[in-house]
Amino acid sequence: MSETAILECDVLVVGGGPAGCWAAWNACANGMKVVLIDKGYVGTSGATAAGNTTTIYTKRGTVEREATVNQRLRLGLGFAEAERIERVLDRTYENLNLLAEWGYDFPSYEDGRPYRGMLRGPDYLRFMRQKLIKARVKVIDHCPVEELLLADGVVAGAVARFRRTEERLEIHAGAVVIATGGCAFLSGAIGTNNLTGDGYLMAAEAGAQLSGMEFSAQYGISPAYSSVTKGVVYFWGTFSDAQGNALESAGDRQSVVAAELLKGPVYAILDKAPPRLQEGFRRGQPNIFVPFDRMGIDPFTERFPITLRHEGTVRGTGGLAIDNRAATTVPGLFAAGDAATRQGMSGATTGGGGPNSSWAMASGSWAGEDAARFARSLGAHARTRPTVAANRHQPSAPTAHGRRDVVDVLATAKQQILPLDRGYFRSTETLEAASANLETLWRDDGWRTARSTKVREAEALIATARWVTASALLRRESRGLQRRSDYPDQSPALVQSIVAGGTDEPWARYAENTSSISRAS
């Protein structure tokens, strides 16, 4: 049994992507002793670190701001909230200006003016890491958090374990921020390999609720031989089947591609992009073209095979339920970025790059501020409260199936979510089958014989898939990322959030108006 190290702080931030970094900065700026911990390396871990990301840089009251808000409301399909969007964009505008004051090297327009609508992921996060270290935030890398700690029902810290030494680390804190990102179900999409829903599971074990998990079936177009799912270039593409026939069916491009992929191979060519735009793409999003260059393919003049890769709640909407800022349904616990539901920002559709990047900045800032305020309210004994582990699950002896390899378990779990005829297009039949299979996996402790990061990730992935499935079954309509072949239309009566929770006994229900619950049950 490895020894346990003890660490105390005012605010613990779990997850070192943009939301976590902004949470740590704002907690520190409010006078808190802050620990920022990540299961990878803060600066290279997560979806943003894998490439460039757009941001929304608009000032309230301008034509540009009005157009942006109206676009988000239209795409939100009844769930986006105008005032929340305005507040997110206000804070993003403030934070981008702050980055400029700190000396971040923004790209420039051709006339030399700084362009603050784009952040280079690796540079951005490295810059934030250095800023935090200089501010005396304690940054801990390669140390996965395993579970939260509770003090009389209030979140009071976490337990982690260093990857290299297996040393157990117990962190006592006045408040905790979950900024662990979303869950892409190990689909292979760029930057998502460590995004397995860990924060969702830890928070749910403490009693937190989730919201919008049915709006999680986000798939990104990518070359068949690549993990890059940046989709902006495909607005200038032509799609075709194996025989070269152009695909012109009604619907958005993802749905057209998904339907055809169920029949056979699909190809794309970026033949609608003029030369000037081609040059702009290569300069602004260079990682899109790395796989093409390696294969010796000019995507602007040659067809190439494509596929759809699941991006789940990383680019979907679902996550931990929060108030109008960042507080979860459990005292002392806050959520930000992809770990928090984005229904108020993006509604029933994907937030893509810019809205999600802006959401991470704003919600991270709010989470840091609110966590600091909560920790301060506890007084001098915030770090010394007696605690218990939130995870009460005790693995039983291996079942009749015997010991199972966790890799096999993960492969089985992924098959319930990733295939297009289960994850992209849903039905009562496929959802109920997935639910039964996921339940069997969860109940079988044969693969939980030893606590490890891989086992914990498998638990989180399966738990997330169960909440997604339960929520998708309950929402008997098609809206945004929820596509039900047996309920193809939108129902005006169902513009209501579905909340979910529970670990051993997962549940989902409509958040308001019990009459709608009975109609959908």
Tens digits of per-residue pLDDT, 75-131?
A: 999 999 999 999 999 999 999 999 999 999 998 887 888 889 989 889 999 999 999
Establish if 401 belongs to a structural domain: no
Q: What is the pLDDT of residue 206?
A: 98
Catalytic entry in 253, 373, 385, 476? 253
- Cβ atoms < 10 Å from Cβ of 405: 11
Interior/surface letters 27-41, b for 16+ CB within 10 angstroms, e for the rest: bbebebbbbbbbbbe
Chain CA centroid to CA 16, Å = 13
Chain CA centroid to CA 152, Å = 29
**Whether residues 370 and 293 fall in one domain:** no
**Whether residues 131 and 75 fall in one domain:** yes
- Express as a percent the part of the chain with pLDDT over 70: 95
> Please, what is the average pLDDT of the chain?
92
Among 310, 340, 374, identify where a domain stops.
310
Establish if 394 belongs to a structural domain: no
Instruction: Give the pLDDT mean for 205-210.
Output: 98
Establish if 502 belongs to a structural domain: yes
425 pLDDT band (50/70/90 cuts)? very high
Establish if 400 belongs to a structural domain: no
CA-wise closest residue to 475 among 317, 338, 333: 317
**Whether residues 187 and 246 fall in one domain:** no
pLDDT digit string, tens, across residues 313-364: 999 999 999 999 999 999 999 999 999 999 999 999 998 889 999 999 999 9
**Measured distance between the N- and C-terminal CA atoms of the chain, rounded to whole angstroms:** 47
DSSP string, 148-172: EEEETTEEEEEEEE-TTT--EEEEE
**Integer Cα distance of 134 and 509 in angstroms:** 45
**Whether residues 252 and 336 fall in one domain:** no
Among 363, 389, 415, identify where a domain stops.
389
Say how many residues make up the chain. Answer: 521
**Whether residues 245 and 196 fall in one domain:** no
Q: Domain range spanning residue 302?
A: 219-310
Work out how many domains the chain is built from and give that number. Answer: 3
**Whether residues 24 and 154 fall in one domain:** yes
Establish if 399 belongs to a structural domain: no
The least confident of 218-227, 276-285, 466-475 is 276-285
226 pLDDT band (50/70/90 cuts)? very high
Q: What is the pLDDT of residue 287?
A: 83
**Integer Cα distance of 316 and 411 in angstroms:** 22
Q: What is the pLDDT of residue 2?
A: 61
> Which residues is 35 bridged to in the sheet?
12, 138
Residues 6+ apart with CB under 8 A from 486: 427, 428, 429
Structure tokens at 115: 């362009």
Q: Give the CA-trace dihedral at 162, 167, 172, 176, to 10 degrees.
A: 20
pLDDT at position 11 over 80: yes
393 pLDDT band (50/70/90 cuts)? low
Number of H helices, E strands in the chain: 15, 18
Q: Residues 234, 270: contact at Cβ < 8 Å?
A: yes
| Greater model confidence, 424 or 109 | 424
Instruction: Give the pLDDT mean for 437-450.
Output: 91
Establish if 31 belongs to a structural domain: yes
65 is catalytic: no
For 224, phi then psi, to 5°, come to: -60, -25
**Whether residues 111 and 207 fall in one domain:** yes
pLDDT at position 401 over 80: no
Q: Which residue has the tokens 């860990």?
A: 198
Structure tokens at 67: 């157009």
Q: What is the pLDDT of residue 513?
A: 52
Establish if 168 belongs to a structural domain: yes
**Whether residues 223 and 166 fall in one domain:** no
Amino acid, res. 200: Y
Q: What is the pLDDT of residue 518?
A: 29
Q: What is the pLDDT of residue 395?
A: 57
Q: Residues 160, 146: contact at Cβ < 8 Å?
A: yes
List the alpha helices (DSSP H) in 262-322. Answer: 275-284, 290-295, 312-315
**Whether residues 71 and 131 fall in one domain:** yes
Instruction: Give the pLDDT mean for 163-176.
Output: 95
The least confident of 140-149, 241-250, 319-328, 371-380 is 241-250
What Cα–Cα distance (Å) separates residue 93 from each residue in 57, 89, 212, 314? 5, 6, 27, 23
Q: What is the pLDDT of residue 519?
A: 30
Instruction: Give the pLDDT mean for 293-305.
Output: 95
Instruction: Give the pLDDT mean for 392-402.
Output: 56
| Greater model confidence, 129 or 282 | 129
**Whether residues 188 and 39 fall in one domain:** yes
pLDDT digit string, tens, across residues 115-169: 899 898 899 999 999 999 999 999 999 999 999 999 999 999 999 999 999 999 9
Q: Residues 338, 23: contact at Cβ < 8 Å?
A: no
Among 310, 325, 345, identify where a domain stops.
310
**Whether residues 160 and 271 fall in one domain:** no
Residues 6+ apart with CB under 8 A from 315: 182, 218, 220, 350, 351, 352, 356
pLDDT at position 516 over 50: no
What Cα–Cα distance (Å) separates residue 98 from each residue in 222, 249, 372, 520? 34, 46, 20, 47
pLDDT at position 284 over 80: no
Q: Which residue has the tokens 């609110």?
A: 370
The domain that contains 510 carries what CATH number? 1.20.58.100
64 three-class SS: helix
Q: Residues 348, 480: contact at Cβ < 8 Å?
A: yes
Instruction: Give the pLDDT mean for 193-202.
Output: 96
Instruction: Give the pLDDT mean for 242-259.
Output: 87
Establish if 209 belongs to a structural domain: yes
> Which residues is 108 bridged to in the sheet?
114
Structure tokens at 469: 């499935």
**Whether residues 179 and 279 fall in one domain:** no
